[in-house]
Amino acid sequence: MLPQFDAGRPRRSVLYMPGANARALEKARTLDADALILDLEDAVSPDAKELAREQVVAAVKAGGYGPREVVVRVNGLDTPWGAEDLRAVNGIGADGVLIPKVNGPGDIEAAARLLKDEPIWAMMETPAAMFAAQEIAQHPLLCVLVMGTNDLVKELKAARVPGRGSLLTALQMSLLAARDAACIAIDGVYNDIKNEAGFADECEQGRDFGFDGKTLIHPSQIAPCNDVFAPSADAVADAREIIAAFDAPDAQGKGVITVGGKMVELLHAEESRRLVAVADAIAAKDAAK
């Protein structure tokens, strides 16, 4: 993973913003999303591609996004706009570049040849990507896997059903690959903006699977997503208790101790340190607003 990529920063909410919409690019500077994907691909019609590219490059160069991570999603290299997108975003100060429809590590390599070692994010949205997930995640410039669940449903000719039963294998294969490579894994979007209960359920499912956060399509989804993917106050308190117990002098060298009447192993201490680190990173991000 690249040295300039901060794997520990919060990525609970990752909001797509259409690159052709200048007002949206400006509004994004005020939203409470952890990360923003300024989109040159799906959210932009063919006749607005060049305008979107110009606006996104200008917006990233201008800055003002505060603690929000700013990523640009380019068009694929197999389109008329992909190569020029990559040249345009090369070295402008984005926190990452999101490559769509990655089918294998060769797609990452082809994009990398037009970039200056920017952290690369990969859309996992084709059957080929699922079979090559481990190789994609292992690429030295690859830092984040993003689930493209809408495209996956289309490619699989699957049904859109509550619980996402038709996508569970793909979700888990990508997550396994990300964790094997120490990458970040971001869940796909939820389309029914008005269905708050359904959105909450899918956020909880993604969190329970192990995803670091979720991509979003509307600002109204930010707050509930942040709540679900943030450690609860009780969980943080319990984690701090476990850490303190293992750090106590009489616990040194022990692999198993008792905390609050429960047997706790070193692996629980490691998980507790990770959870507290996430909570501290969220607090630091909130303080930087």
pLDDT over 90 percentage in the chain: 90
Task: Compute φ and ψ for 200, nearest 5 degrees.
Answer: -60, -40
Top-confidence range, 2-16, 78-92, 264-278:
78-92
- Predicted local distance difference test score (pLDDT) of residue 285: 87
CATH classification of 13-229, choosing from 3.40.50.2000, 3.20.20.60, 3.90.1150.10, 3.40.50.1370?
Answer: 3.20.20.60
Instruction: Burial-class residue 200 by CB neighbours within 10 Å (0-12, 13-18, 19+).
Output: middle
Q: Which ranges in 138-232 belong to alpha helices (H)?
A: 149-156, 168-180, 196-209, 222-229
CATH 3.20.20.60 range(s) for the chain read 13-229
pLDDT tens, position by position, 190-221: 999 999 999 999 999 999 999 999 999 999 99
pLDDT of residue 164 exceeding 90 = yes
**Residues sharing a CB contact under 8 Å with residue 65, sequence separation 6 or more, in sequence order:** 28, 29, 36
Contact 272, 262 (CB under 8 A): no
Cα 172-219-84 angle, rounded to 5 deg: 75
pLDDT tens, position by position, 91-150: 999 999 999 999 999 999 999 999 988 899 999 999 999 999 999 999 999 999 999 999
Contact 10, 278 (CB under 8 A): yes
**Residues sharing a CB contact under 8 Å with residue 57, sequence separation 6 or more, in sequence order:** 88, 89, 92
Q: Which of 81, 69, 43 is nearest to 121 (CA)?
A: 69
pLDDT tens, position by position, 40-73: 999 999 999 999 999 999 999 999 999 999 999 9
